[in-house]
Amino acid sequence: MIQNQHAFHIPVMGTGHSIDSPIRVAHLGINSVISVVDDQLCEKIRKHYCDEYRLPYENIPRSRPDGRAERITAYLETVQEIVQQKFTRLKELPAFCSSEKDRYFNLLPDSNPLRKAYETIASLTEPNERNKLMDELTTRLTPGSIDVNIMAKVDALQMSNDDQPMSGEFSDASAALRGYANSSLSSSLVLSAGFNPRLYSYLAEFKGFYRDASGSIKKKIILKVSDFRSALIQGKFLAKKGLEVAEFRIESGLNCGGHAFASDGHLMPVLLQEFREKRDQLVETFQPMVKSFYESMGWDYPEMNEEDITPKITVQGGIGTNGEMQRLLTDFEMDGTGWGSPFLLVPEATCVDEFTSKLLANAGEKDLYLSNVSPLGVPFNNIRGSGSAIHTQELIDKGKPGSKCPKGFLVSNTEFTESPICTASAEYQLLKINQIRENSELSDEQKEQQTNRVMEKTCLCTNLGTGSLIRLGIMKPSYGRQEICPGPNVAWFSREYSLDEMVNHIYGRTESLVPEERPHMFAKELNMYLDYLVELSIVTDEDDKGGQNKLRKIRKNLEEGMDFCLQIAATKPYENENLESLREAVHVQRERLNRLFMAEAC
């Protein structure tokens, strides 16, 4: 298993924006996460890189009995081969001459033992001793991990070539899991977007997720979770099958990229505090279950150090300065951080086309918003003026809203059809619009509002991968339709950056890339939750007891979170940490919260 040499990783971003990030940065020791939801995209990009690196390529049609899984395996093997080639070449380079090998060390955090050893060797004057020590140090280098993300709930069941339903192991998520499990990668599988018992049970079919005789796990499990309770429930489910969670990855409910899974007002500081206080419960709860499973199977469970069996806790969503990262690592004792959206402006790290890159660089806070475009029915972080938004409006203007649904990864609606269809498809939108128009109980204004919401849905399956295809020259820029899902944090990054610039910014080694007035990540999240609560209160009927109870629950949790935020704001700030903005946000949003519920009472 590859150890993370850095205090950060690059999370999954859309289907295409981090799909080749390991090829770009893994040889420099940086971990990143690939999405494999779109095997068709994987196949196109595999062909591109096989051509570029002169690797053998044979098309894998999806019509094969296990075509989806085979495509994913083949893509991951190609990425692995290229990373190994680049990493081997890097190790063979001379040091102390501004080579990629020097860059590897210089990118590392100042506290990393490899960097410290490199700096010590660099200070030596005797050539033979220096070369000998450098050769020894080179053997300790590791490439970044090629981690893989599967959205657990994006799990459509597939039909066979003769139009018969296939068994569960051929569902989209299960096939993707099999594609990863059958690869030679030694890395981590990141499971996100909900708890899928069928998929989690399927993990037990693959020995790579269990410890070998030496105690190593070839393929580790990372769970993206919203709170401690979720971590405990999902971890126990896996532990009963002998499966250990290597890392719980906490993500802000709203202040993140991609789909936003809002909590009931549980602010990030409160969640992190609970994980810090209760993390020992994770080992105490899971380990007896894991060992019991091994015993039931007649397997030996190796003797392990406590460090090796304790899940790591990391956090992502809206981090923008070294000071914020230091608070997460030091005060909340997190084991690492995820930096996503800022890397969308680093061409060396992510796969974003020129049009979209400029759009991101010029975006202000008002250009970034939670949208209704996702067919999953979950708020989706979006940017105004994207190629996808332009294309969707063009279809509406032509009177032909909706997509042809060429990929079908997000089919889930059976309102009008026996087989599930996608709410972004032309088929669904035409049926739904006709239903709205024929509803005599709706006013013309209500019909227009509901129709517009239907037509907002866009084809994420295709459009989230378009930018990467354009960037790699596989598709012409004139095709357009690029969708991207940045978090609001990207508004404060105003141009493209080199990898070195961004990493040095993360570690606080240079002047900050963002202005001093940028609000603290905790302040931004608080503001977003109040916006969310206001919107929720508008659509919640006064006679809806369940809905009203939910509003009151969110209010209570927000008030508790704001109290804790004030405690944080009263502490000494880390460098480039805007705690004053957190104090001000609590004051403004508390007044806003009180006014909202005073109005409700009236």
Average pLDDT over residues 526-549: 90
Span 229-257, pLDDT tens digits: 999 999 999 999 999 999 999 999 899 99
What is the rounded CA–CA span in Å between residue 412 and residue 421?
Answer: 6
Q: Would you place residue 598 in the very low, low, confident or very high pLDDT band (cuts 50, 70, 90)?
A: confident
pLDDT, residue 158, reads 65
Specify if 442 maps to a domain: yes
Specify if 457 maps to a domain: yes
The answer for 383, left when phi > 0, alpha when psi is -120 to 50, beta otherwise, is: beta
- Under 8 Å between Cβ of 463 and 481: yes
pLDDT above 80: residue 30: yes
Higher per-residue pLDDT: 55 or 547: 55
What is the rounded CA–CA span in Å between residue 442 and residue 417?
Answer: 24
How many domains, in total, are found in the chain? 3
What is the rounded CA–CA span in Å between residue 369 and residue 384?
Answer: 8
Q: Are residues 335 and 456 in the same domain?
A: no
pLDDT, residue 368, reads 94
Angle between helices 39-52 and 460-471 (to 10 degrees): 10
Q: Are residues 390 and 314 in the same domain?
A: no
Q: Would you place residue 599 in the very low, low, confident or very high pLDDT band (cuts 50, 70, 90)?
A: low
Average pLDDT over residues 7-19: 95
Specify if 509 maps to a domain: no
Q: Are residues 148 and 22 in the same domain?
A: yes
Q: Are residues 411 and 297 in the same domain?
A: no
What is the rounded CA–CA span in Å between residue 64 and residue 214?
Answer: 37
- Where is the domain boundary, 312, 342, 372? 342
Name the nearest CA neighbour of 467 among 363, 368, 386, 408. 386
Angle between helices 460-471 and 354-362 (to 10 degrees): 100
Q: Give the amino acid at 169.
A: E
Q: Are residues 111 and 233 in the same domain?
A: yes
Q: Would you place residue 162 in the very low, low, confident or very high pLDDT band (cuts 50, 70, 90)?
A: low
- Please name the residue that has the structure tokens 């990864």: 409
Which neighbouring-strand residues pair with 403? 425
Specify if 128 maps to a domain: yes
pLDDT, residue 314, reads 97
Q: Would you place residue 1 in the very low, low, confident or very high pLDDT band (cuts 50, 70, 90)?
A: very low
pLDDT above 60: residue 601: no
What is the rounded CA–CA span in Å between residue 65 and residue 197?
Answer: 24
pLDDT above 70: residue 163: no
Cα angle value 251/257/262 (rounded, 5°): 55
pLDDT above 60: residue 584: yes
Span 410-427, pLDDT tens digits: 888 899 998 889 999 999
Average pLDDT over residues 57-86: 95
Span 459-484, pLDDT tens digits: 998 999 999 999 999 999 999 899 99
What mean pLDDT value characterizes the chain? 93
Q: Are residues 523 and 462 in the same domain?
A: no
Q: Are residues 270 and 138 in the same domain?
A: yes
110 CB neighbour count, 10 Å cutoff: 10
Check the CA dihedral 552-554-560-562 and report its sign. Answer: negative
The mean-pLDDT minimum among 118-127, 272-281, 535-544 falls in 535-544
pLDDT above 50: residue 594: yes
pLDDT, residue 600, reads 60
Domain of 29? 8-342
The mean-pLDDT minimum among 41-45, 219-223, 259-263, 308-312 falls in 259-263
- Where is the domain boundary, 460, 483, 506? 483
Looking only at the bridges linking them, the beta strands covering 187-192 and 146-151 are parallel
Q: What are the b/e assignments for 475-487, b being 16+ CB within 10 Å?
A: beeeebbbbbbbb
- Where is the domain boundary, 459, 483, 507? 483
pLDDT above 80: residue 383: yes
pLDDT above 70: residue 161: no
pLDDT, residue 194, reads 83
pLDDT, residue 516, reads 95
Specify if 508 maps to a domain: no
Q: Are residues 184 and 323 in the same domain?
A: yes
Q: Give the amino acid at 464.
A: L
pLDDT, residue 62, reads 84
Span 76-103, pLDDT tens digits: 999 999 999 999 999 999 999 999 999 9
pLDDT above 70: residue 363: yes
Higher per-residue pLDDT: 540 or 332: 332
138 CB neighbour count, 10 Å cutoff: 17
Specify if 458 maps to a domain: yes
DSSP 305-338: -HHHHSPEEEEESS--SHHHHHIIIIIS--SEEE
Using CA atoms, how far residue 475 sits from 62, 105, 409, in Å, is 21, 36, 21
532 CB neighbour count, 10 Å cutoff: 19
Q: Give the amino acid at 131.
A: N
Q: Are residues 238 and 141 in the same domain?
A: yes
Q: Are residues 338 and 357 in the same domain?
A: no
Specify if 428 maps to a domain: yes
pLDDT above 70: residue 438: yes
- Under 8 Å between Cβ of 169 and 175: yes
Alpha helices for 438-520 (secondary structure H) = 444-456, 460-471, 499-506
Average pLDDT over residues 12-34: 97
Q: Are residues 36 and 142 in the same domain?
A: yes
Q: Are residues 154 and 24 in the same domain?
A: yes
Q: What are the b/e assignments for 342-363, b being 16+ CB within 10 Å?
A: bbbbbbbbbbbbebbbebbeeb
Average pLDDT over residues 358-374: 94
Specify if 488 maps to a domain: no
* Residues contacting 535, CB < 8 A, separation 6+: none
